[in-house]
Structure formats: C-alpha cells, structure tokens
Amino acid sequence: MSTQKALKVPAHTPENAGSCGATNLVSVSPCSQLSARTIPKYAGSAHSKLHNVVWRSPLQNIYVVKKPWNETTTRAMREFIAFIHAEYPSLNVIVSEDVKNTCTTPLAVHTGSVADIVAKTDLIVSLGGDGTTLRAVLAFLNGSVPPVLCFAMGTLGFLLPFDFASFRESFRAVFESRGKAIHRTRLECHVLAHYKQHHDATMVYAMNDISLHRGAQPGLIKLDIYIDSEYLTSTTADGLVFATPTGSTAYSLSAGGPIAHPLVPCILLTPICPQSLSFRPLVLPATSHVMIRLLAGTRAERIKMSIDGIAQPDLRPGDEIHVVNENGTIYIPGSHQPPKTLRSRLGFDDYIEPGRAGGPAPADQPNGIFCFAKAENDWTVGITELLGFNSSFKGQKH
C-alpha cells in the first residue's frame, strides 16, 4: 500500500505573544496525556432534517478555536473556558499552541501538535466566523471530524446559528445529548502530479470548495473535464470551482453558481469567467467522479489551487485533479467489475467495498461534518438574512 501526503494545513501566527505568556496559567498540559477521542452516535429521524447527537460515553475533551487577532473572540474564549472549569470540572479544554498565550486569566488548558489534537478531540467549539470553522475542520484532513458547535462572532455566519450570549444553554444541551446537528458532506480531492508517480498523489477533504485559478498571471488556463471517465469538454477560463452544497453560498455563488441546500446530495462545478458564454454551472450527482487535466500550451506556467480558501502548492500543466464526494465511487465505462473507489482506480489499493471513496469508513467513524443547529430552518433564515435573498431594492438606503 502506498503512502499519501497530506496537503498543506494553514499555519497559525502567535497572538499577543509578548503580552501574556503561559506563566499566567494554572497549567498547560500536553494533550497527548488525555484519553482517546469519544465518538458520539448520530441518530437520524424520518421526521427531521437534523440528527440527535448522543454521547455513547461521557464527553471529555473540547477543542476551542477562535478567530485570530480579535480581542472580542479572545475575551469570549476566556469566558467560555472559565465556564467549563466552573460548571464541568471533569472536562478538558484543548487549544492550539498559539492560542494558549492569550489566556491571561488563570485557566487550565491542554495543547500539543495537530496530530495529538486530532486524536483527542471529542467536540470542536468555534468562536468566530465561517472561516474560523473551516480552518478548524481542515486540521482533520484525512479522517472523521468531531461534531462542531459554532458561535457567530465573525463577518459571515452561514455555519454559525448560535449567539454567544446563550453559550451556556447551547453547550448544556450538547453535553446532555440533547443537541441536534445537520450533516454536511465533504469533497475528496486527489492531485496527481504529472512529473511524479501515482504513489505520490496528495489527498485532502474540502468542506466548502476546491478552486483552481490563474492567480496573478494574466493568461487564462486550459482544462479538460471528464465526468465518470467520459470526456465532457475543454475550457479556457480564469478557473473552476468545485463546491459542496455547504459551499454553494461561498466562492461558487460569487462566480455565478447555484444555491443548494446542505442536504442535497450533489457536487457543484462552476466556471470562473469562461471564454465561452455557453459554459454554464453544473449540478452533478453526489456519485460523480470529476477529473480535471491541466493542458499544456496555457500561458500560465503555474496554476493556483485552494482548499476552503487555504492556498495549496501550485499545479502545473499535465497534472490531474480527481474530485468525488467522500461517499463517491468510480464507474468505468464498459467494465463488468463492481465500481471502484478512487484509491483503487489510481492503484493505491485492491478493490475496496463500493460506496466510499478512500475505502470503507469504520462503523464508529461517520463521514462528513455534523454541525450543531438551532432549528430546522437555520438554512432558510441564513440565505434570507445574510444574503438578502430576492430582496427588493426599494428599501435600500443610498
């Protein structure tokens, strides 16, 4: 079996490092000493869009992330951690290495490497905007993501139904297995470098979108597009955006793509300023396998790629990008074999159970991301209040 390399994870810059150090804390302990991660049960219902999140064993380790360089979220983090210590003394709070330096009040926290944090986190608590949540989830590049409790303290809040003013009640419901969550799917992206062997392919998950674009270069890029191994078209454009339903209200929407409800099983493919006016955005089944080949002859020697807004290593002409839903399979025309997963098609493994790209997930590790929701209609409220969906110009002030 070959080894896959993870794509780049966003680096964090220490905040206020000179003004408040770890000496002001009661203790800073390595999170490697904590017990292994607890995975809850997600119980669906035919009468609800949401899943009940039930802890099979008591919640133990909370990973708190915050919007960087923001005093409001820093104060909120301190208040939240102090609340946990006072009301739930058996719980452990995990923060990243840079965030620990902002805890000027006497607080006990755990920290460690990204790998240690991923292995120990039972619940993610996000204080900030959508970008804060996306960065937190990106740490879990090649594995299942703990449930996420998001508080709206940033610029945009499609993923953030809860007001921090009610954080005590919101957290109590989660702790007592009364929380409900919406299931958001991810895209699985494999990059095959033309100048390397297949075993050097890189793979990463995207919660929002995967974008290919020309960056600062003046020339357009040329791409071949295949769907389920069948040639679709060639295009010359500024780029392309693959989006999940969750990401349909982000970059894809700005590029003219459609809005999709988070529970619609689909992959969105949206061109960015295509040369042809007849290239319209596509809504593809979630079972689709989309392959993009970067063509030679383009003026752009390097093509930019970003995952959920985080820049990744540049691509070159000849490289391939394979995108599937993380539950997707690969259908090879004319083959009588069962559908292959993306990993097996690229030579990573033998045939694996159909139904999941990258191999079957362990039964206790569900795919996708479960984000706690306040109500069934959170999404409807979001596009109305945040996007001003179908709003009239009459009431706007000049």
CB of 245 closer than 8 Å to CB of 338:
no
- Copy the structure tokens of residue 99: 């965030």
CB of 264 closer than 8 Å to CB of 245:
yes
- Dump the DSSP string for 102-155: G--SS-EEEE--HHHHHHH-SEEEEEE-HHHHHHHHHTSTTS----EEEEE-SS
What one-character DSSP code corresponds to residue 340?
Answer: B
- Dump the DSSP string for 165-205: GGHHHHHHHHHTT--EEEEE--EEEEEE-TTS-GGG-EEEE
Task: Write down the pLDDT at residue 24.
Answer: 53
What is the set of domains in the chain, with CATH numbers?
11-185+368-373 (3.40.50.10330), 187-345 (2.60.200.30)
Residue 122 known to be catalytic: no
Q: Which helix (H) or strand (E) holds 87?
A: helix 71-87
How many alpha carbons fall within 13 Å on the CB side of residue 124?
30
Identity of the residue numbered 23: T
pTM, two decimals, is: 0.82
Chain center to CA of 310: 11
| Range name among 48-62, 121-135, 183-197, 381-395 with the lowest pLDDT average | 381-395
Place of tokens 């419901």: 173
CB of 38 closer than 8 Å to CB of 55:
yes
Q: How many angstroms separate the CA atoms of 276 and 257, rounded?
A: 16
Task: Write down the pLDDT at residue 311.
Answer: 92
- Copy the structure tokens of residue 141: 């590049």
Q: How many angstroms separate the CA atoms of 226 and 189, rounded?
A: 15
Task: Write down the pLDDT at residue 396.
Answer: 57
* pLDDT (tens digit per residue) in 264-290: 999 999 999 999 989 999 999 999 999
Task: Write down the pLDDT at residue 330.
Answer: 56
The bridge status of strand 108-111 relative to strand 289-294 is unpaired
* pLDDT (tens digit per residue) in 183-221: 999 999 988 887 665 445 678 899 999 999 998 888 889
Whether 177 shows a pLDDT value over 60: the answer reads yes
Q: Which of 130, 238, 319, 378 is catalytic?
A: 130
Whether 167 shows a pLDDT value over 90: the answer reads yes
Q: How many angstroms separate the CA atoms of 250 and 209, rounded?
A: 8
Task: Write down the pLDDT at residue 140.
Answer: 86
Task: Write down the pLDDT at residue 296.
Answer: 79
Place of tokens 């500024």: 238
Q: Which tops the pLDDT comparison, 363 or 183?
A: 183
